Amino acid sequence: MFVICCWQVIIMQATFDVYYDRIHEIELYYKAIQQLYDTQNKFEEKYEFHSDDFLKMLKSNALLMIYNLVESSIMGGILEIYDELRSNGYAYKDVRKEIQDIWFSFKFNQVYDKSAHYNSYRDKAIEIINCILNGETIVLDRKATDISGNLDAEKIRQICKQHGITYTIDAECKGGIVLEDVKNKRNELAHGTTSFVECGRNYSIEDLIKIKDQTIKYLNCILDGMKQYYDAKKYLYMSSVV
């Protein structure tokens, strides 16, 4: 079983609570699959859940659970940062340029449409200007994250860069390369282009364990970077220029 390293003080409590709960679910699921494989040939009477096809389906579902861990962890961390901005009443002038750019795009996209009338753009521009001039609180939600079933290591790097979040990746993670395969298989299964049996036959239990361990190590590094960003209030203007 992969050992989770805990931080002495966890500030982003909600994010880490969900993260550890999801890892516990995955570890339990892996243990169940392993036990089914171990007992597959031990019973004189065979059951449906000992069939090769069913076990392949279970392996495919493991990849869905891993992707769920990735998306919930990254989304949760970003949203908790957004909640901190809102709850502290930080305005446009208070936050670093990356957050300013995210907020501006978020506000502009609320009206962006090919059929939108000139007046719609004008009204939104006036709203944005007034928000800045009046020092209104920055409010962002999940629509500002651009996270929607497409998370791999490259996308996570983009999200962190967009927010000014820095991190150090463990060499054993190999840059998070396994996340691309997890994302692709998740999308294939979700869109029906690959069946659960077809997907599962391509992975051994050992393959899945390696994917799980590398994913958790990678997420530990990213979440540690988010935590440092959150703790040090690096989302603020002065922290970005120190």
- Is 6 a member of any domain? no
Cα-based angle 215, 181, 16 (whole degrees, multiple of 5) = 25
pTM of the predicted model as reported, rounded to 2 decimal places? 0.87
pLDDT of 33-72, one tens digit each?
998 888 876 665 556 666 789 999 999 999 999 999 999 9
Which two three-digit tokens encode residue 228?
Answer: 């440092």
Cα 95 → chain centroid: 23
Give the model confidence (pLDDT) of 74-122 as tens digits. 999 999 999 999 999 999 999 999 999 999 999 988 876 656 677 777 8
Residue 24 burial class via C-beta count within 10 angstroms: exposed 0-12, middle 13-18, buried 19 and up: exposed
Residue 136 resides in a domain: yes
Could you list the residue range(s) of the whole structural domain that residue 172 is in? 13-241
In a domain, 132, yes or no: yes
Establish if 7 belongs to a structural domain.
Answer: no
Which residues on neighbouring strands pair with residue 91, listed in sequence order? Answer: 137
176, 183 Cβ separation under 8 angstroms? no
The residue assigned the tokens 């949203």 is 79
Q: What is the pLDDT of residues 23-40, one digit of tens each?
A: 999 999 999 999 888 887
From residue 106, alpha-carbon distances to 27, 77, 101, 112 in Å are 37, 18, 8, 10
The two three-digit tokens of residue 55, written as one number: 């076990």
User: Is the residue at 131 inside a domain?
Assistant: yes
> Residue 4 domain-assigned?
no
Are 159 and 71 in contact by the 8 Å Cβ rule? The answer is no
Query: Is 174 inside any structural domain?
Result: yes
Distant-in-sequence, close-in-space partners of 23: CB < 8 Å, separation ≥ 6: 2, 4, 69, 216
Domain count, the chain: 1
User: Which distant-in-sequence residues (6+ apart) come within 8 Å of 210 by Cβ?
Assistant: 178
In eight-state DSSP terms, residue 142 is G
Strands (E), the chain: none
Is the Cβ–Cβ distance between 211 and 61 less than 8 Å?
Answer: no
